[in-house]
């Protein structure tokens, strides 16, 4: 059994197969695991830094299961509060209160200063509509169209809906399909009081996947790093060194832009998935690592309201090391490092005025031009299934997981691929979502009807 690609999807597939007693070999072009959710040694500072800040939520049941299987769950720090900073420094804290879901954020929401009373009423109406929405029926229109149809004013879209959706789906509401956006709010906010807990790795991301080799080997598998792949089909992989590897099955767990190029000509002719995959587009993410000469961040995280820089994460105890994240970063990609640093610093100072005198000692912008697939209505309609006519098994967050481009989507796809190879229903390997509260089951729509209590 061969798995091509050592990102989260490939690791998940290989581990579950090895645990099931299947001899599996994972091939990875690079000398490290993790794919796009990994780290690298910065030659300027000599430090190991992440490509970009990746976050798990409490609702990411399969990704968290993978972390437990890799014995790294303890390396994730859970943050119960999210801090929304307005220009001038006023802060609203979002945390779950004592009410059951879906009302667990009601107290924090009512006290939030960054929304007017009218905007809060509009958002509340939107949340009620999301609770009963059939997200599968909304794939064909954008989330902006859905919001407009449900009376959401532009100011509420700018201050509340957009920061959440852009961060979760890496697309603006005007581009993202309503289906994955609704998924974010249904399962990430409304279903369970712990769904929105935010998990941030305490260590460089690459360290989360270091135990994968030992875990896979212990279960009877193996990992070969630094092995490039030239071509593959359902039973064979040709490496860039000319080595031919035969297997009972092949899982292709590389990014979508590579997957269609690696498939053999015969596979592409027989399997319509690969032609469709060539039409899947991408959305970039920009991560900016900053070091200041004095503390600037007083909270572990920050959402910057109505600013181009969407999120900040404190990376040291003092608050001098800051990681800024700009999702859907199309307009930022052409900028040089000096301009990126200036703009991010301006956003920080606007929302944290006490940082005005702080000097930037070091800046390292990291552009991920192909960070995620773009979950537009057009792309949602052509996301490929795990199995197809060629016999090649696909794994990757771009497959038909029901999730946006997230670590949870990648883990789910890996588990689904393993289930396909084992000839089992996906439900035997996939963990279910967090159970909806009884009130959500009563009030909610189709998204919650089939979920376990």
Q: What is the CATH number of the domain that holds 169?
A: 1.10.405
Q: What is the CATH number of the domain that holds 353?
A: 3.90.660.10
Q: Which residues contact 446 (CB under 8 A, 6 or more apart)?
A: 134, 135, 136
Contact yes or no for 207/75 (Cβ under 8 A):
yes
For residues 363 and 387, membership in a common domain is answered with no
For residues 271 and 389, membership in a common domain is answered with yes
- Tokens describing residue 389: 């006519």
For residues 167 and 306, membership in a common domain is answered with no
Q: What is the mean pLDDT of the chain?
A: 96
For residues 347 and 386, membership in a common domain is answered with no
Residue 121: which domain range? 101-195+437-449
Where does the pLDDT of residue 37 fall: very low under 50, low under 70, confident under 90, or very high at 90 and above? confident
What pLDDT, on a 0 to 100 scale, did the predictor assign at position 40? 87
For residues 344 and 266, membership in a common domain is answered with no
Note whether residue 366 is domain-resident: yes
Note whether residue 400 is domain-resident: yes
Q: Which residues contact 154 (CB under 8 A, 6 or more apart)?
A: none
pLDDT above 80 for 450: no
Q: What is the CATH number of the domain that holds 256?
A: 3.50.50.60
Q: Which helix (H) or strand (E) holds 134?
A: none
For residues 291 and 172, membership in a common domain is answered with no
Burial 152-188 (b: 16+ CB within 10 A, else e): bbeebbebbbbbbbbbbbbbbbebbbbbbbbbbbbbb
Note whether residue 50 is domain-resident: no
Note whether residue 429 is domain-resident: no
Note whether residue 47 is domain-resident: no
The stretch 420-435 carries a mean pLDDT of: 97
Note whether residue 166 is domain-resident: yes
For residues 265 and 386, membership in a common domain is answered with yes
pLDDT above 80 for 140: yes
**Residue 415 forms beta bridges with which residues?**
none
* Whole-structure pTM value: 0.96
The vertex-36 CA angle with 71 and 291, nearest 5°, equals: 90
Q: How far apart are CA 369 and CA 298, in angstroms?
A: 31
Note whether residue 51 is domain-resident: no
DSSP for 342-395? Answer: HHHHHHHHHH-GGGTT--EEEEEEEEEEEEEE---HHHHTTPPPS--TT-PEE-
For residues 275 and 381, membership in a common domain is answered with yes
Residue owning tokens 């006290």: 111
For residues 272 and 288, membership in a common domain is answered with no
What pLDDT, on a 0 to 100 scale, did the predictor assign at position 36? 86
**Residue 229 forms beta bridges with which residues?**
239
What pLDDT, on a 0 to 100 scale, did the predictor assign at position 256? 96
Cα separation values, 340 from 321, 323, 346, Å: 17, 13, 10
Contact yes or no for 201/60 (Cβ under 8 A):
no
What pLDDT, on a 0 to 100 scale, did the predictor assign at position 219? 86
Note whether residue 56 is domain-resident: no
How many domains, the chain? 3
Which tens digits make up the pLDDT trace of 341-390? 999 999 999 999 999 999 999 999 999 999 999 999 999 999 999 999 99
For residues 255 and 402, membership in a common domain is answered with yes
Where does the pLDDT of residue 451 fall: very low under 50, low under 70, confident under 90, or very high at 90 and above? low
> Is residue 177 classed as helix, strand or coil in its secondary structure?
strand
Q: How far apart are CA 390 and CA 388, in angstroms?
A: 6
Contact yes or no for 184/195 (Cβ under 8 A):
no
For residues 263 and 368, membership in a common domain is answered with no
Neighbours of 441 (CB within 10 A): 15
For residues 234 and 317, membership in a common domain is answered with no
What pLDDT, on a 0 to 100 scale, did the predictor assign at position 51? 86
């Amino acid at each position: 059994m061969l798995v091509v690609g050592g990102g989260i999807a490939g690791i998940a597939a290989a581990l579950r197969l090895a645990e099931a007693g299947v001899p599996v070999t994972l091939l990875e072009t690079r000398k490290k695991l993790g794919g796009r959710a990994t780290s690298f040694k910065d030659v300027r500072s000599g430090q190991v830094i992440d490509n970009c800040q990746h976050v798990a939520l409490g609702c990411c049941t399969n990704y968290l299961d993978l972390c437990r299987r890799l014995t790294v769950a303890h390396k994730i720090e859970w943050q119960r509060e999210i801090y929304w900073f307005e220009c001038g420094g006023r802060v609203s804290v979002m945390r779950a209160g004592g009410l059951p879901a879906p009302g667990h954020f009601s107290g924090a929401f009512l006290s939030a200063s960054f929304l007017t009373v009218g905007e809060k009423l509009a958002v509340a109406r939107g949340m009620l509509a999301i609770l009963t929405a059939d997200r599968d029926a909304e794939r064909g229109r954008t989330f902006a169209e859905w919001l407009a149809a449900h009376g959401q004013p532009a100011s509420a879209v700018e201050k509340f809906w957009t920061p959440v959706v852009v961060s979760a789906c890496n697309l603006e509401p005007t581009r993202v399909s309503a289906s994955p956006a609704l998924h974010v709010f249904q399962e990430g906010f409304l279903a369970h009081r712990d769904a929105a807990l935010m998990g941030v790795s305490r260590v460089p991301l690459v360290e989360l996947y270091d135990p994968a080799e030992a875990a896979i080997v212990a279960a009877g598998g193996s990992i070969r790093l630094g092995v490039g792949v030239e071509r593959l089909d359902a039973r064979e992989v040709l490496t860039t060194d000319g080595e031919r590897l035969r297997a009972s099955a092949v899982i292709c767990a590389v990014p979508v832009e590579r997957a269609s190029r690696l498939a053999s000509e015969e596979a592409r002719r027989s399997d319509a998935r690969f032609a469709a995959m060539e039409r899947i587009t991408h959305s970039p993410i920009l991560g900016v690592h900053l070091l200041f000469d004095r503390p600037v961040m007083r909270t572990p995280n920050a959402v910057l309201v109505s600013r181009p820089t969407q999120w900040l994460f404190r990376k040291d105890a003092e608050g001098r090391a800051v990681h800024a994240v700009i999702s859907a970063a199309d307009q930022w990609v052409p900028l040089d490092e000096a301009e990126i640093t200036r703009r991010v610093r301006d956003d920080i100072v606007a929302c944290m005025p006490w940082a005005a005198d702080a000097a930037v000692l070091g800046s390292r912008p990291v552009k991920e031009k192909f960070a995620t697939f773009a979950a537009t209505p057009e792309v949602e309609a052509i996301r490929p299934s795990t199995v197809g006519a060629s016999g090649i098994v696909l794994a990757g967050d771009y497959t038909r997981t029901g999730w946006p481009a997230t670590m949870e989507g990648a883990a789910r796809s890996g588990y689904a691929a393993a289930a396909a190879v084992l000839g089992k229903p996906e439900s035997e390997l996939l963990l279910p979502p967090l159970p909806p509260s009884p009130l959500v089951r009563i009030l909610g729509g189709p998204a919650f009807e089939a979920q376990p209590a």
